Amino acid sequence: MTFPSPTDPRITPIPAAATDLARVLAGHELTRSTCTRPIRLVGSRTLVHRATGEIVHDFHSAHQPNSMITVPCGNRRHTVCPSCSTLYKYDAYHLIAAGLRGGKNTTPTVAAHPRIFVTLTAPSFGPVHLGPAKNGNPRPCGPRRTGPDCHTWHPVGDPLIGTPLDPGTYDYTGHVLFNAYAGALWSRFTTETRRTLADLAGIERRDLRTVTTVAFAKVAEYQTRGVVHFHAVIRLDGANGPGSTAPARMTTALLTRSVRTAAKRTTVTTPSPGAMSFRTLRWGRQLDIRTIGSSDDDDSALSDAVVARYVAKYATKGTEASGIADLRPLPCRTCDGQGLQVKPTEPGKLQRPCPDCHGLGRSTTWAALGLSNHALTLVRTCWKLGGREELAGLRLRRWAHTFGFRGHFATKSRSYSTTFGALRDERAAYTAAQRDQALGLPSSADLVVVNDWHYAGRGPLPDTPTPAPPGQVSQEPAAASAGGGR
């Protein structure tokens, strides 16, 4: 696998101006003015002086144009809301960068700790049509040693790219199960990495935590064929976390060896539903490990900024690479995908079909989804396997629209750096302070904020006045911002 170079045009640069303050300001102004699907709220916010009990400020949506206010949707995906997604990208950048060079309450000494950037891929489930190489150069699809061949030079955007050469023999079940168990596989991989690290360092496994802490931050990315893979930053700290240093023998080389071995050893075994035998799932053979930071003897080392940008970029993507960006969860809400009336009828009588989906369990027909054959087969495989009791825990029907993957797109171990929540809180506090200052109110420490807001629908308000220029006080309640994430 080739890794994009820092100058790769596919890595969208985060503007240099996206410093901390710019992130806060841009975030606020950006989403307030341009969120494509804001949440409408009605209600009030009252500010009460903590010591005197006096109401110092009262804000009612009833006095606003349209009698309501809007708050940004907070969605992380670019295809859903470009402006909220940009904000999320800034946050993801700062979260990852803080774990690499400090900042946001993380000590800058982490920059000297062993740090690597790892890409864990999925195995093959059958040959798929290949597009141009990562550097954009055209290449022929195949030839392959065995099986069917294509020989076409597929141009960028060819819908055939990522679809099976032979759909009849493609392992759709394995593909869907890999997505469904990818989170479990990742979790076992982190455990296996710690164990291997202890073994290689000659430490009892249970004593590893008295010597070093392994910190992780990962993002999931969909490949064109519709399978997830993971990009992860892995860092070695001392026993007391980011502020402490691991012993000298805990080197980048040792961490790299541990990850390589752990990736090979990690497996998850599935139950065996019906006539299907159990399967052992593992990572694909392609494993890319790069050192982060300057290293004189490693030309392939990546800089902090490149890694942070790369992760931030993938944190705002969903399934769009596989052509199913706008798919919503399929199960009928009334019967939760069961196809039967949820309320029990008279005892002894058969359950009647759900009146809303006519017993189908989903609110739409397969044809109405308008998917490619490959995407539709993945969705239908999820639906079929989702009906198996042994696989109930995977909730494959609920997650058919993401080809079975139900994990979080961005996750990290607690000690890695700050959190998305802390970054959002920081922004909300800044906005509130700005508002209070403009209204001539006491400092927020002296105020009790009473929020009473109710959902009133979605979408921009008609005839919304042009947003206030930066610096002018907002009419939004800062505390009523919608949390984003998934």
For the CB of residue 230, give the shortest distance to Zn ion in the complex, in Å. 26
State which of residues 141, 255, 324, 447 lies at the interface with Zn ion (CB under 5 A). 141
Q: Does 19 bind Zn ion (CB under 5 A)?
A: no
Q: Give the three-state DSSP class for 457.
A: strand
Burial 206-233 (b: 16+ CB within 10 A, else e): eebeebbbbbbbbbbbbebbbbbbbbbb
**Closest residue by Cα to residue 310 from 214, 230, 237, 256:** 230
Run of H or E including 307: helix 304-315
Cα 239 versus chain centre, distance:
29
For the CB of residue 244, give the shortest distance to Zn ion in the complex, in Å. 40
**# of chain residues touching Zn ion (CB under 5 A):** 15
Cα–Cα distances in angstroms (integers) from residue 328 to residues 172, 183, 204, 234, 402, in the given order: 21, 21, 48, 33, 9
Q: Does 100 bind Zn ion (CB under 5 A)?
A: no
Q: Does 354 bind Zn ion (CB under 5 A)?
A: yes
* Closer to Zn ion by Cβ: residue 108 or 460: 460
* Closer to Zn ion by Cβ: residue 80 or 306: 80
Q: Does 129 bind Zn ion (CB under 5 A)?
A: yes
DSSP 138: -
Interface segment toward Zn ion; rule CB under 5 A; list 90-98, 140-148, 372-380, 473-481: 140-148
Interface segment toward Zn ion; rule CB under 5 A; list 135-143, 270-278, 302-310, 429-437: 135-143
Quick note: the x/- pattern for Zn ion over 257-296, rule CB under 5 A, is: ----------------------------------------
**Closest residue by Cα to residue 148 from 135, 137, 160, 132:** 160
Q: What part of residues 357-416 is at the interface with Zn ion (CB under 5 A)?
A: 357
Q: Does 72 bind Zn ion (CB under 5 A)?
A: yes
For the CB of residue 351, give the shortest distance to Zn ion in the complex, in Å. 11
State which of residues 14, 25, 35, 110 lies at the interface with Zn ion (CB under 5 A). 35
Q: Does 330 bind Zn ion (CB under 5 A)?
A: no
* Closer to Zn ion by Cβ: residue 101 or 129: 129
User: What DSSP string describes 156-208?
Assistant: TT-TTTTSBS-TTT--HHHHHHHHHHHHHHHHHHHHHHHHHHHHHHT--GGGG
Q: Does 81 bind Zn ion (CB under 5 A)?
A: yes
Structure token pair of residue 118: 């790892």
Run of H or E including 20: helix 20-34
For the CB of residue 358, give the shortest distance to Zn ion in the complex, in Å. 8
Find out whether 208 and 403 touch, Cβ atoms under 8 Å. Answer: no
User: What DSSP string describes 413-452?
Assistant: -TTSS--HHHHHHHHHHHHHHHHHHHTTPPPGGGEEEEEE
* Closer to Zn ion by Cβ: residue 201 or 335: 335
Interface segment toward Zn ion; rule CB under 5 A; list 15-23, 265-273, 335-343, 411-419: 335-343
Interface segment toward Zn ion; rule CB under 5 A; list 34-42, 195-203, 218-226, 306-314: 34-42
For the CB of residue 459, give the shortest distance to Zn ion in the complex, in Å. 11
* Closer to Zn ion by Cβ: residue 84 or 385: 84
* Closer to Zn ion by Cβ: residue 148 or 370: 148
**Closest residue by Cα to residue 112 from 238, 240, 289, 200:** 238
Q: Give the three-state DSSP class for 275.
A: coil
State which of residues 305, 332, 385, 394 lies at the interface with Zn ion (CB under 5 A). 332
State which of residues 46, 119, 334, 413 lies at the interface with Zn ion (CB under 5 A). 334
Structure token pair of residue 137: 């150069």
Cα 469 versus chain centre, distance:
32
Run of H or E including 29: helix 20-34
**Crossing angle of helices 252-265/172-201, nearest 10°?**
140
Interface segment toward Zn ion; rule CB under 5 A; list 138-146, 167-175, 283-291, 433-441: 138-146
Interface segment toward Zn ion; rule CB under 5 A; list 35-43, 223-231, 254-262, 271-279: 35-43
Q: Does 152 bind Zn ion (CB under 5 A)?
A: yes
Q: Does 73 bind Zn ion (CB under 5 A)?
A: yes
Q: Does 96 bind Zn ion (CB under 5 A)?
A: no
* Closer to Zn ion by Cβ: residue 165 or 306: 165
- The contact set with Zn ion (CB under 5 A) reads 35, 72-73, 81, 84, 129, 141, 150, 152, 332, 334-335, 354, 356-357
